[in-house]
């Protein structure tokens, strides 16, 4: 699972019957530097995945998402998605690793 911040939504111009009901989110991957800054306006320089969401995440929310084959596991039949929102995070706690003495 990866962590990212929702920075927008994507709208499809045509309905794809194979897709379940949900939304498409533009997600900025959240790494150590974004976590330590704690700034909600920071957008990662990494590529932003488009993530399928059926949980109701909104812009600014931190989410946990999976990519690849794991993204299709919640569905009973094959669906054409590459990333799936598996949770909305309330908070993230970062513990600093103690250096060896």
For the segment 22-57, what is each residue's pLDDT rounded down to a tens digit? Answer: 899 999 998 777 777 766 666 666 678 999 999 999
The C-alpha atoms of residue 88 and residue 16 are separated, in whole angstroms, by 25
Q: Which residue has the tokens 């488009």?
A: 50
CATH code, 43: 2.40.50.220
DSSP lists the bridge partners of residue 50 as 26
Per-residue pLDDT of 59-82, as tens digits, reads 999 999 999 888 888 888 778 788
Any domain includes 78: yes
Check pLDDT > 80 for residue 101: no
76 CB contacts (<8 Å, ≥6 apart)? none
Question: With the C-alpha atoms ordered 85, 15, 60, 42, is the resulting torsion angle positive or negative?
Answer: positive
Check pLDDT > 90 for residue 87: yes
State which residues form the domain around 55: 2-89
Supply φ then ψ for residue 99, to 5 degrees.
-75, 150
Q: Would the pTM count as exceeding 0.85?
A: no
């Amino acid at each position: 699972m990866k962590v990212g911040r929702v920075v927008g939504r994507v709208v499809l111009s045509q309905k794809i019957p194979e897709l379940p009901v949900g939304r498409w989110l533009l997600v900025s991957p959240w790494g150590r530097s974004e976590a330590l800054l704690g700034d909600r306006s920071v957008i990662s320089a990494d590529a932003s995945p488009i993530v399928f969401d059926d949980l109701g995440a909104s812009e600014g929310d931190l989410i946990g998402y999976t990519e690849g084959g794991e993204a299709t596991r919640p569905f009973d039949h094959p669906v054409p998605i590459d990333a799936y929102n598996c949770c909305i995070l309330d908070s993230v706690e970062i513990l600093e690793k103690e250096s060896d003495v």
